[in-house]
């Protein structure tokens, strides 16, 4: 899950606990599987974690069935501010290189935006948004929201806090799963 590595800028950090990060990524990624299966309505769905080229295009995983090999592409985002009334949508990934943020360049079909409780190590809620409709809306409205600067090593990521309630009002949220997941049994609780 590239968002975690980018956020932490892990390339040259010798003091970082790589095993802990890898464990976090694997655990969080697996927690997206069940909500996605519910969303696509196929509990036998196949998951393919995509390579770097596809991830750069904002496609983290492909979910497909034997009946539909093309499948659906998902961009996964994880937010640890579990009580926030907002989504954080990135418009500039790196202000030094002026790289567009994921919200403006994703080629995924669906955004799965999860709120992750770091103490319980659980996804508490996952929203599913239509990616292209979100991009279209964001391109028009992002300037209406104050930019938030997230400090990284040598650069800033710039994004906007967009109210979740507004995304409902704009019909950009298709579905939400509000139940926590039981990690050990991979079930809803």
More confident residue, 68 or 100: 100
- Cα(143)–Cα(109) distance, integer angstroms: 24
Does residue 7 lie within any of the structural domains?
Answer: yes
- Cα(134)–Cα(30) distance, integer angstroms: 25
Q: What is the pLDDT of residue 55?
A: 78
Does residue 51 lie within any of the structural domains?
Answer: yes
Residue-number span of the structural domain to which 44 is assigned: 2-182
Give pTM, 2 decimals. Answer: 0.80
- Cα(82)–Cα(152) distance, integer angstroms: 21
Does residue 15 lie within any of the structural domains?
Answer: yes
Question: Domain containing 42 — which CATH number?
Answer: 3.40.210
Does residue 187 lie within any of the structural domains?
Answer: no
pLDDT tens figures, 88-130? 999 999 999 999 999 999 999 999 999 988 888 888 899 999 9
Helices (H) and strands (E) in the chain — how many of each? 6, 12
Tell me how many domains the chain contains.
Answer: 1
Does residue 71 lie within any of the structural domains?
Answer: yes
Does residue 50 lie within any of the structural domains?
Answer: yes
Does residue 112 lie within any of the structural domains?
Answer: yes
pLDDT tens figures, 4-27? 333 333 333 344 343 444 455 667
| Structural contact between residues 121 and 30, judged by C-beta atoms closer than 8 angstroms | no
């Amino acid at each position: 899950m590239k968002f975690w590595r980018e956020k932490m800028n892990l390339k040259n950090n010798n003091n970082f606990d790589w095993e802990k990060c890898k464990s976090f990524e694997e655990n969080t990624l697996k927690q997206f599987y069940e909500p996605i299966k519910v969303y696509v309505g196929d509990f036998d769905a196949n998951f393919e974690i995509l390579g770097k080229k596809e991830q750069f295009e904002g496609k983290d995983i492909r979910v497909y069935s034997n009946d539909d090999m093309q499948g659906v592409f998902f961009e996964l985002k994880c937010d640890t501010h579990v009580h926030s009334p907002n989504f954080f949508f990135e418009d500039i990934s790196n202000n030094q290189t002026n790289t567009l943020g994921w919200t403006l360049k994703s080629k995924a079909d669906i955004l799965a935006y999860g709120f992750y409780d770091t103490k319980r190590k659980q996804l508490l809620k996952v929203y599913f948004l239509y990616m292209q409709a979100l991009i279209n809306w964001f391109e028009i409205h992002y300037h209406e929201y104050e930019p938030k600067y997230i400090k990284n090593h040598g650069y800033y990521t710039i994004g906007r806090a967009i109210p979740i309630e507004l995304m409902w009002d704009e019909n950009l949220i298709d579905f939400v799963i509000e139940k926590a997941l039981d990690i050990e049994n991979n079930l809803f609780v």
